[in-house]
């Protein structure tokens, strides 16, 4: 979304919050929230995968605030190069926070050298303010000297949909999540539509995602957020509609569909091994029924193979778990995507 000379990346819609006098940043349109539970609506307003991208002549000021009691963190990058010590990270609280971003004139050539050594996805002239996934609101953007130049859109893109694991939960930094690592490995942008605790495959979300066209690879993770609540038939109906809608409307794209990663299901949710197997079989069978060579099913326990890389909550992968998922995905996609 282009707003005041800034690409609000992974933002589908802005909604003005009169009480806070700021804009909430929605990752799918508000119309998709019709059948969402409260958590889903809240997660739609989180900054998962959100970046502010811009090119700069001199200086720009972002005025932001956060509803998160602990505040929101954001990180500045020049292309793929982390910002300097005095501009590398910012904390946004409940009150208006002014973030001043200045052009790195004195080190511009050297930063460009570093960026090229990284075999970069982005030119070093592309400034990126990367958010940590908690809710952030935009009050205003103030330029000292505007540039009308839009960032390059020549990179490929990966669309992700899934649970908190796809969103990057418990990876501490967005740059440590398997989604971010995979995008960096493939030199592609990441459009992250992960919904922590609320990946419920609403028809409105399926319909919206089916209309997105500016990506080449789709990665879909299904099951963990509903396995403790839904029966097999309800899950099957939701998976069937979701996959058919997205895949059939995008015959030119490559899809990888996974389900439930390894976790301590018998401890944290009292879900039987049989039900986990049933849910995995549902996703596998629905992928087969599509009869589409562009769809690859990958069992979640193949990506996160055992329980050693799981956090103490018994569900989420730790940092090593995110690395494991990323490396397994990279190996599978690397053999098929050329």
What mean pLDDT is predicted for residues 13-37? 97
3-state secondary structure 28-67: CCHHHHCCCCHHHHHHHCECCCCEEEECCCCEEEEEEECC
More confident residue, 267 or 280: 280
Lowest mean pLDDT among 99-103, 242-246, 334-338: 334-338
What mean pLDDT is predicted for residues 128-151? 86
Question: Where does residue 157 fall: left (phi above 0), alpha (psi -120 to 50 degrees), or beta otherwise?
Answer: beta
State the angle between helix axes of 273-289 and 232-248 in degrees (0 to 180), rounded to the nearest 10: 30
Domain at 2-143, CATH from 3.90.79.10, 2.60.120.260, 3.20.20.140, 3.30.450.20:
2.60.120.260
What percent of the chain clears pLDDT 90, i.e. is strictly above it?
84
The pLDDT of residue 171 is 79
Could you give the CA distance from residue 9 to residue 312 in angstroms, rounded to a whole number? 33
The pLDDT of residue 146 is 65
Strand (E) positions, the chain? Answer: 2-3, 6-9, 13-17, 22-26, 51-54, 59-65, 72-78, 81-82, 89-92, 97-102, 127-131, 137-143, 156-162, 188-194, 217-221, 254-258, 295-298
Q: Is domain 156-336 classified as CATH 3.40.50.1110?
A: yes
Residue ranges per structural domain of the chain:
2-143, 156-336
What mean pLDDT is predicted for residues 209-221? 97
Looking up tokens 């490396």 gives 327
What mean pLDDT is predicted for residues 190-208? 97
* Residue 336, both tokens: 């098929």
- Chain segment 143-159, per-residue pLDDT in tens: 987 665 666 555 799 99
The pLDDT of residue 86 is 86
Supply the pTM of this predicted model.
Answer: 0.94
- Chain segment 2-11, per-residue pLDDT in tens: 999 999 999 9
What is the rounded average pLDDT for all residues in the chain? 93
Could you give the CA distance from residue 28 to residue 40 in angstroms, rounded to a whole number? 11
Identify the bridge partners of residue 26 per DSSP, sorted by sequence position. Answer: 13
276: pLDDT confidence band, cut at 50, 70 and 90? very high
Could you give the CA distance from residue 320 to residue 87 in angstroms, rounded to a whole number? 28
């Amino acid at each position: 979304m282009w707003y005041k000379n800034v690409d609000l990346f992974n933002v589908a819609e802005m909604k003005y919050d009169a009480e806070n006098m700021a804009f909430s940043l929605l990752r799918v349109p508000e119309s998709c929230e019709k059948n969402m539970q409260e958590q889903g609506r809240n997660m739609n307003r989180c900054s998962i995968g959100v970046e502010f991208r811009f090119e700069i002549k001199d200086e720009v000021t972002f005025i932001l605030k956060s509803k998160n009691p602990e505040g929101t963190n954001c990180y500045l990058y020049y292309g793929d190069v982390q910002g300097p010590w005095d501009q590398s990270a910012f904390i946004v609280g409940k009150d208006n926070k002014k973030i001043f971003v200045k052009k790195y004139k004195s080190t511009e050539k050297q930063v460009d050298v570093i960026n090229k050594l990284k075999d970069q996805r982005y030119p070093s002239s592309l400034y990126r303010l990367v958010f940590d996934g908690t809710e952030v609101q935009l009050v205003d953007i103030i330029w000292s000297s505007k540039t009308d130049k839009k960032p390059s859109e020549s990179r490929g893109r990966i669309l992700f949909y899934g649970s908190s694991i796809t969103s990057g939960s418990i990876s501490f930094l967005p740059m440590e999540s398997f989604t971010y690592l995979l995008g960096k490995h493939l030199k592609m942008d990441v459009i992250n539509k992960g919904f922590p605790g609320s990946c419920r495959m609403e028809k409105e979300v399926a319909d919206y995602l089916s209309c997105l066209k500016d990506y080449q690879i789709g990665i879909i993770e299904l099951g963990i957020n509903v396995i403790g609540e839904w029966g097999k038939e309800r899950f099957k109906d939701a998976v069937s509609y979701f996959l058919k809608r997205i895949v059939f409307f995008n015959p030119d794209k490559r899809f990888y569909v996974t389900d439930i990663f390894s976790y301590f299901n018998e401890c944290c949710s009292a879900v039987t091994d049989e039900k986990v197997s049933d849910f995995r079989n549902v996703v596998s069978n629905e992928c087969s029924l599509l009869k589409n060579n562009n769809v690859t099913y990958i069992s979640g326990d193949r990506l996160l193979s055992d329980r050693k890389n799981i956090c103490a909550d018994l569900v989420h992968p730790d940092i090593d778990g995110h690395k494991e998922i990323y490396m397994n995905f990279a190996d599978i996609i690397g053999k098929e995507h050329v």
